[in-house]
Structure 1
Amino acid sequence: MPDITPAELKQRQAAGEKPTIIDVREPWENEEGRIEGSQNIPLGTLPDKVADLEDLKEQEIIVHCKGGGRSSTAQAFLNQQGFTRVRNLLGGFQAYQKS
């Protein structure tokens, strides 16, 4: 799946869509600001939580972090686990805030 831009995500949210968004930042980063509707699963705990996401294997999942690096790693990991529609938020939370 191609990555998603902050503008595209915001447009979809404004249209009432509620995509599955996973924030792979640390809890303290999530407390400083978050994307509405996102769930916080820090990258280091993702392998332990992957079984909880099993029902989402065929659904679109948008992953994000602060700038895009950790979420790119999360995207690759989830793809390896058989998740077929994982998209990385380009520029991460920083770009989302600015858009």
Structure 2
Amino acid sequence: MAESGESAKLSLLETAGLLETKLAKGLLLAILKKQNPDGGFPRLAEAMELTGSSWGLRIDEPNCLEVLDGKLVRVRGRGRAYFLKRLGSLKFEVRVLEPGDELELRRA
């Protein structure tokens, strides 16, 4: 039996080695289930391709992202965060965020 909607999207992310969790209304977070020797970018890019996402975030440990009103993200901790914006198929713009930096999320 074929899956549809959120269930199908969750299955795609699990297949890619990712887990999808609701963070806030309309905002989703993909969390690595295990360490990847190639780093997080290949899995994040793959998840974005599979789900058609227009952007994604990757964070280092020990770090967290503070989400305000589902639109503004502030980086907290001692590591970096990376914002990937889709420019086309397998083409991304990368923005490096340091602790204290803020990023406004906009719907594409």
Q: Shared fold (TM-score greater than 0.5)?
A: no
Higher RCO, 1 or 2 (CA under 8 Å, sep at least 6)? 1
- Relative to its length, the structure with more helix (as a share) is 1
TM (norm. structure 1) is 0.27
TM-score relative to the length of structure 2: 0.26
Q: Would you tell me which structure has more strand in proportion to its own residues?
A: 2
